[in-house]
C-alpha cells in the first residue's frame, strides 16, 4: 500500500523499534518524497513538528494522549499508538503481539492506519479520538502505576529485610495466571488487612492512603463491597500543603481567631521534630510546620545536596501529628532573584558553630525571621538539640522586639544516647557506632574530661567541645564522622526554657 516513509524521531524508544521493523519489512525509509511521515517525537512537540512539514503525504503520530488536531493543518492524517512500554535495550520484537490504537477521521485514513499497524506486527483496533483520555488513563494504570506499585511494594519488603526483586516473579505470575485475585481481601480476611495497615502506619506512613485506596478497589473487584474497610480507622487528616507565601497568608487569614504555633523544620522528620509538633498541637489552635531545606545556612553545595529529603513521608508524619498546614516553599519563593537583606546576630552567631560554619547563623536567622513574618505565630518551637540556634533566635527576638514566644524543647535521643538528627541517616552502621562517643563524652558534663574522651575515640574529628553560657548553660560539642558533621549538647544547669 505504502512503499516509502520518513520517520521523525527514529532514535527514540518507539522510533527505533518502529524503524527496525519497517526496515525488516522492506519499507523504504528516509525517502526524499515519502508517502507517509510518521512522527515518533515527544507529545509536546508533535504540533510544532507537524506545522513545519509540507502538506501532501500522509502524516501520523504514535502518541496515546495527543488528539489528531495536533497534526493541523494536515488532513491526510491518523494516529497509531502501540500499546506497549518500549525500552531502547530491546528491538522490534517489542511490537509483536502488542495492540495498536488507530485513530482516524476517514475510511481511507483508517485503512492506512490498520495497514501500518499490521506491517509493524501490531494488532490494530479502532479508537475514537474523543475517547483518548479514558483509553490513555487505562494505559497509565496498567503500565506507569504498576511501576509505582512495584516501588511501594519494594519499600515494604525492605522494611521486612527481604529482597524487593523477589516480587518480580510474583508480578509476572499474576499476569501469566490471567489476573486471578488471591490474598486476604479475596478471602475476606480483614484482620490481616488491619495488620498490614498497622505496620504501614508505623513504618511507611506515606503508603497508607495508597494502600487504603487499593484495598477498597480490590474489595469491589472481589465483590465484597467496602463496608469492612470503612470500619478501619483512618488517620487521614485535613492537612493542607501551601507552597507559596501568598497562599499560606490567605489560608491563615481565616484562622487568626486562636493562637498559631510554628515549627520550622528542614524535613527528614524524626521523633525530635515530632516532639515539637506534639507540643505545638497541644498549645495552639493552628499548627504550621515549615518544610524548607534552607540553602543559605549551608556552607558548601555538597552538604546541601547530601541533606536527606523525603517529602512524602514527612507530609504523612505531619498529618499524623495533627499539623494543620505544611508550608513547603521552593528556594525562589523564599529567596527571589536579587535577594539581599540579611539578619546577622553578630556576636552569638560567630562563636562555636559560627567559627566552623561562617554565615550559618546569618542564614538561619534570616529564614526564621522571614518565617515569623509570613506566619506571624504566637509561639515558635525549637529543639534544645541545636542550643546555639535557639540562643541566636532568642537574641534576635529580643533585639528586634518580635512578638513571638520562643518554646525550646528537650533533646530527643535514641536509646543508646545518640541525639536524633536528620543527618544520622547519612551514617553507616560503623559510623553510627563511632558517633556515640559524642553523647557519651558530653554526658561527663566536664569540658576537659569530654575532650579527653573524644581524643581517645577512633574515627572522629573534633571541631570543638566547649561550655557555653547560654540560657540554660550547656556543654556543646561538634565532631565529624566520615563526611557527616554532628552536633550535640547537654544542659549544665536548669531546664531548657
Asked if 273 is an active-site residue, the reply is yes
Task: Single out the residue of 422, 439, 453, 484 in contact with ligand AMP (rule: CB under 6 A).
Answer: 422
Residue 266 engages ligand AMP in binding (rule: CB under 6 A): yes
Nearest distance, CB of residue 418 and ligand AMP, angstroms: 9
- In this complex, which beta carbon is closest to ligand AMP, that of residue 100 or of residue 377? 377
Choose, by CB under 6 A, the member of 385, 394, 407, 485 that binds ligand AMP: 385
Residue 361 binds ligand AMP, judged by CB under 6 A: no
- Rounded least distance, CB 415 to ligand AMP, Å: 13
Classify burial at 188, counting beta carbons within 10 Å of its beta carbon; exposed 0-12, middle 13-18, buried 19 or more: exposed
Does residue number 419 form part of the binding site for ligand AMP (CB under 6 A)? yes
Identified binder of ligand AMP from the candidate list 78, 298, 372, 382, rule CB under 6 A: 382
- Cα distances from 402 to residues 41, 253, 337, 372, in angstroms, run 56, 20, 27, 9
CB of 440 to ligand AMP, least distance (A): 16
Rounded distance, CA 216 to CA 448, Å?
A: 61
Tell me which of 74, 136, 273, 360 is the catalytic residue: 273
Please report how close the Cβ of residue 488 comes to ligand AMP at its closest, in angstroms. 9
User: Which residue, 73 or 410, is less far from ligand AMP as judged by CB?
Assistant: 410
Give Cβ neighbours of residue 195 (< 8 Å, ≥ 6 apart). Answer: none
Contact status: 273 vs ligand AMP (CB under 6 A): yes
What's the gap between Cα 92 and its chain centre? 35
Residue 83 backbone dihedrals phi, psi, to 5 degrees:
-85, 80
**∠ at Cα 44 (39, 45), nearest 5°?**
50
- Is 494:444 a contact under the CB 8 Å cutoff? no
Contact between 16 and ligand AMP per CB under 6 A: no
- CA distances to 64, 81, 110, 111, 112 from 107, in Å: 20, 18, 5, 6, 9
Query: Contact region for ligand AMP (CB under 6 A) — 31-39, 74-82, 158-166, 378-386?
Result: 378-386
Q: Does 421 contact ligand AMP by CB under 6 A?
A: yes
Closest CB to ligand AMP among residues 73, 417: 417
Q: Which listed range, 130-138, 180-188, 214-222, 406-414, lies at the site for ligand AMP (CB under 6 A)? A: 406-414
Minimum CB–partner distance for residue 458 and ligand AMP (Å): 25
Closest contact distance (angstroms) between CB of 385 and ligand AMP is 4
- Asked whether position 239 contacts ligand AMP by CB under 6 A, the answer is no
Residue 484 touching ligand AMP (CB under 6 A): no
Position 386 contacts ligand AMP (CB under 6 A): yes
Applying CB under 6 A, does 66 fall inside the site for ligand AMP?
Answer: no
Q: Cβ closer to ligand AMP: 383 or 447?
A: 383
Give the HSE-up count for residue 179: Cα atoms under 13 Å, Cβ half-sphere: 4
Identify the DSSP state of 227.
H
- Closest approach, Cβ 184 to ligand AMP, in A, equals 38
Check if the beta carbon of residue 387 is closer than 8 Å to that of residue 474.
yes
- The reply on whether position 412 binds ligand AMP by CB under 6 A is yes
Least Å distance, CB 252 to ligand AMP, is 20
CA separation (Å) from 380 to 249, 258, 287, 358?
A: 17, 15, 10, 25
Task: Tell me how many residues contact ligand AMP (CB under 6 A).
Answer: 17
C-alpha cell at 422: 536528620
Number of H helices, E strands in the chain: 20, 16
DSSP, res 281: H
The set of residues, in sequence order, having a beta carbon less than 8 Å from that of 222 and lying 6+ positions away, is 181, 185, 186, 188
The binder of ligand AMP chosen from 15, 272, 329, 363 (CB under 6 A):
272
Q: What is the CA radius of gyration of the chain?
A: 30
Interface ranges with ligand AMP (CB under 6 A): 265-266, 272-273, 275-276, 382-383, 385-386, 409, 411-412, 419-422
Q: What are the residue numbers of the active site?
A: 273
Amino acid at each position: 500500500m505504502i512503499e516509502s516513509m520518513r520517520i521523525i524521531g527514529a532514535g527514540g524508544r518507539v522510533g527505533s523499534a518502529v524503524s527496525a521493523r519497517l526496515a525488516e519489512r522492506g519499507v523504504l525509509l528516509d525517502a526524499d518524497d515519502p508517502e507517509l511521515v510518521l512522527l515518533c517525537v515527544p507529545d509536546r512537540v508533535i504540533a510544532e513538528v507537524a506545522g513545519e512539514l509540507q502538506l501532501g503525504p500522509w502524516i501520523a503520530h504514535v502518541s496515546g494522549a495527543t488528539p489528531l488536531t495536533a497534526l493541523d493543518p494536515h488532513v491526510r492524517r491518523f494516529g497509531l499508538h502501540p500499546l506497549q512500554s518500549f525500552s531502547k535495550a530491546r528491538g522490534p520484537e517489542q511490537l509483536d503481539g502488542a495492540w495498536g490504537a488507530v485513530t482516524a477521521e476517514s475510511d481511507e485514513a483508517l485503512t492506512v492506519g490498520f495497514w501500518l499497524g499490521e506491517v509493524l506486527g501490531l494488532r490494530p483496533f479502532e479508537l475514537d479520538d474523543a475517547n483518548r483520555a479514558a483509553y490513555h488513563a487505562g494505559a497509565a494504570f496498567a503500565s506507569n502505576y504498576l511501576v509505582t506499585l512495584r516501588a511501594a511494594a519494594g519499600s515494604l519488603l525492605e522494611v521486612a529485610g527481604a529482597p524487593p526483586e523477589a516480587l518480580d516473579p510474583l508480578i509476572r505470575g499474576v499476569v501469566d495466571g490471567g489476573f486471578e485475585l488471591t490474598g486476604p481481601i479475596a478471602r475476606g480476611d480483614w484482620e490481616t488487612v488491619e495488620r498490614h495497615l498497622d505496620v504501614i502506619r508505623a513504618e511507611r506512613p506515606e503508603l497508607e492512603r495508597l494502600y487504603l485506596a487499593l484495598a477498597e478497589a480490590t474489595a469491589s473487584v472481589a465483590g465484597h463491597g467496602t463496608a469492612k474497610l470503612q470500619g478501619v480507622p483512618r488517620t487521614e487528616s485535613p492537612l493542607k500543603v501551601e507552597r507559596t507565601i501568598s497562599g499560606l497568608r490567605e489560608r491563615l487569614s481565616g484562622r487568626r481567631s486562636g493562637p498559631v504555633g510554628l515549627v520550622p523544620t528542614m524535613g527528614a522528620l524524626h521523633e525530635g521534630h515530632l516532639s515539637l509538633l506534639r507540643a505545638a498541637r497541644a498549645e495552639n489552635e493552628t499548627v504550621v510546620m515549615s518544610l524548607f531545606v534552607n540553602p543559605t545556612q549551608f556552607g558548601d553545595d555538597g552538604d546541601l545536596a547530601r541533606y536527606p529529603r523525603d517529602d512524602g513521608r514527612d507530609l504523612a508524619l505531619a498529618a499524623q501529628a495533627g499539623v494543620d498546614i505544611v508550608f513547603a516553599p521552593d528556594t525562589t519563593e523564599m529567596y527571589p532573584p536579587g535577594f539581599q537583606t540579611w539578619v546577622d546576630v553578630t556576636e552569638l552567631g560567630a562563636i562555636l558553630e559560627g567559627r566552623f560554619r561562617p554565615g550559618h547563623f546569618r542564614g538561619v536567622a534570616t529564614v526564621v525571621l522571614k518565617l515569623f513574618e509570613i506566619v506571624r505565630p504566637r509561639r515558635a518551637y525549637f529543639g534544645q538539640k541545636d542550643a546555639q540556634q535557639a540562643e541566636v533566635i532568642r537574641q534576635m527576638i529580643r533585639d528586634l522586639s518580635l512578638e513571638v514566644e520562643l518554646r525550646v524543647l528537650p533533646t530527643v535521643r535514641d536509646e543508646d544516647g545518640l541525639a536524633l538528627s536528620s543527618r544520622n541517616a547519612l551514617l553507616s552502621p560503623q559510623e553510627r557506632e563511632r558517633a556515640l562517643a559524642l553523647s557519651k563524652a558530653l554526658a561527663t558534663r566536664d569540658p576537659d574530661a569530654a575532650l579527653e574522651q573524644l581524643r581517645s575515640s577512633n574515627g572522629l574529628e573534633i571541631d570543638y567541645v566547649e561550655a557555653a553560657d547560654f540560657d540554660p548553660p550547656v556543654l556543646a560539642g561538634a565532631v565529624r564522622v566520615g563526611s557527616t558533621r554532628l552536633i550535640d549538647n547537654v544542659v549544665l544547669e536548669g531546664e531548657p526554657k
